[in-house]
Amino acid sequence: MHKELTAKGRATRNRIIEGAAAVLREKDVSVATLDDIMAHTRTSKSQLFHYFPEGKDELLLAVARHEADQVLADQQPYLGCLDSWEAWHRWRDQVVKRYTEQGERCPLGSLVLHLGRSTPGARDVVVTLMRRWEENLATGIRALQTAGQLPAELDVEQRAAALLAGIQGGVLLLQSTGRADHLRAVLDQGISDLRRAAVI
């Protein structure tokens, strides 16, 4: 697929994806039109359909993948080496900062919701993202275990799952209420409960 793209073609394709991502960070999928994307990327409709023959959904899916990659990248390098309590706190700050800045928009969320079950592969994007995210958290907890900071019998999977869910909900509440209180609470509480587990 797209093997035959020249360097110029690839550049244009990327420009479309990034431009579309920019558009979708400003307006909701249900409102954004191909014309918006054309205007923002200085492309014509034929180019859009040239690079995404299946049409709008294929383009949106590509944007969703692009955004999903961004989510974890934005948490690096912290998320990748959660091997001390200090590292956990730095990561916490990074997450709060990232989502406070992003504000009320959730391009990836609306995208996947919009594509929904009609577009095969849309769900996979978010499922994969969540799995990776959770794995990173689990790895971090295990790192604390091997560092002797946490007891070996801790249920790592459950902790990681609960933490991930908390973050998602915190972000959701940040986006719907405009306040980061919940996100902060869930991270603080999650980490301090983890620390407390160390003492027992």
Q: What 8-state DSSP symbol labels residue 84?
A: S
Exactly one of 26, 69, 135, 188 binds its own copies (CB under 8 A); that residue is 188
Q: Output the smallest distance, CB 21 to DNA, in A.
A: 16
147 makes contact with DNA (CB under 7 A): no
Q: Is 183 in the site for its own copies (CB under 8 A)?
A: yes
Select from 48-56, 90-98, 169-177, 185-193 the region that touches DNA (CB under 7 A).
48-56
Question: In whole angstroms, what is the distance from residue 196 CA to residue 44 CA?
Answer: 58
Q: Hey, what are 107's tokens?
A: 């391009």
Task: Choose one: 11-19, 33-41, 116-124, 136-144; the region binding its own copies (CB under 8 A).
Answer: 116-124
Q: How far is CA 37 from CA 7, 42, 103, 132, in A?
A: 21, 8, 22, 30
CA 62/CA 52 separation, integer angstroms: 9
- CB burial of residue 195 (10 Å; 0-12, 13-18, 19+): middle
| Six-digit token string for 59 | 């383009």
Instruction: Tell me the window of 47-55, 68-76, 77-85, 159-167 that interacts with its own copies (CB under 8 A).
Output: 159-167
Residue 195 binds to its own copies (criterion: CB under 8 A): no
Task: Specify the residue, 22 or 172, whose C-beta has the smaller distance to its own copies.
Answer: 172
Please tell me the distance from the alpha carbon of residue 63 to that of residue 23, in angstroms, as a whole number.
11
Using CB under 7 A as the binding criterion, the count of chain residues that bind DNA stands at: 23
Distances in Å between the alpha carbon of 136 and those of 89, 120, 130? 15, 26, 10
Structure tokens given for 99: 């989502």
Q: Which residues bind DNA (CB under 7 A)?
A: 4-10, 12, 31, 33-35, 42-47, 49-50, 55-57
Q: Which residues bind its own copies (CB under 8 A)?
A: 28-30, 104, 110, 112-114, 116-117, 123, 126-127, 130, 157-159, 161-162, 164-173, 176-177, 181-183, 185-186, 188-190, 193, 196, 200
